[in-house]
Amino acid sequence: EVTDEVAKAISAEVPEDQLRKVAVAEGMITLRDAGLVKIKSGEISLEEVLKKTVISKEALPAYLVNPDIEQYEDKDVIIREGNTDIDFFKLVQGAVYVVKGGKMIAEITQPGEYFGEMAAITGTPRSASIISKGRSKIKRFPGDKLIEIIEKYPDVAKHLFTVLADRLNETDRKLVSLYNQIKKRKVNENVS
């Protein structure tokens, strides 16, 4: 519905982003938000909403548009194992080590990869430390906003869940390989 404020904005030929802000303030529900309601009620799939709608930068909260970017030097600790903070991070530049019990167990090298989200999801202490490998740039996201991000911003949530699924697949692959090595070792011991 075109309210007086929306009509004034249209007449003034304000830029699209400003018109969107005025319309939302006047009660307009964006197509993306309407789609999210339909996802919750089971009327439509997440994929369909992502395919048919876009999210505008103006619709995102400041912590997603301009998250804090931090710079770390070689061997700087970003996350300390056992800590109870819940912020999560995105690698912008460089690489980081994942260290558990003093031993390196993995490296994160792909810009855009998230880490530290498990503490925000589960509320449990950090299971590993994250240490900068050389110089790195990291975006910090507030962990107390993770549920809001998942509920309101499917594009960001989809990326986070893709990262988690990739990690689970890699962990499964390593467990199967380890299981097969143990099984083979036991067979060889029984043969001897």
Question: Is it the case that residue 102 has pLDDT exceeding 80?
Answer: yes
What span, in angstroms and rounded, lies between the C-alpha atoms of 189 and 11? 84
Q: What is the pLDDT of residue 147?
A: 78
Exposure letters 77-114 (e unless 16+ CB within 10 A, then b): ebbebeeeebbbbbbbebbbbbbeeeeeebebeeeebb
Contacts of residues 166-173 at CB distance under 8 Å and 24 or more positions apart, as own/partner, are none
Pairing between β-strand 103-108 and β-strand 129-141 as defined by DSSP bridges: unpaired
Question: Is it the case that residue 74 has pLDDT exceeding 80?
Answer: yes
What span, in angstroms and rounded, lies between the C-alpha atoms of 173 and 77? 28
* Whole-structure pTM value: 0.55
pLDDT tens by residue, 7-65: 887 888 877 767 777 787 788 877 777 887 888 788 888 778 777 776 655 555 555 55
Strand partners, 72: 136
Q: Which two tokens stand for residue 147?
A: 């549920």
Judge whether 55 and 66 are in contact, CB under 8 Å.
Answer: no
CATH class of 63-154: mainly beta
Judge whether 17 and 34 are in contact, CB under 8 Å.
Answer: no
pLDDT tens by residue, 115-146: 998 888 888 899 999 999 999 999 888 888 87
Q: What is the pLDDT of residue 65?
A: 56
Higher pLDDT, 47 or 192: 47
What are the structural domain ranges in the chain?
Answer: 4-59, 63-154
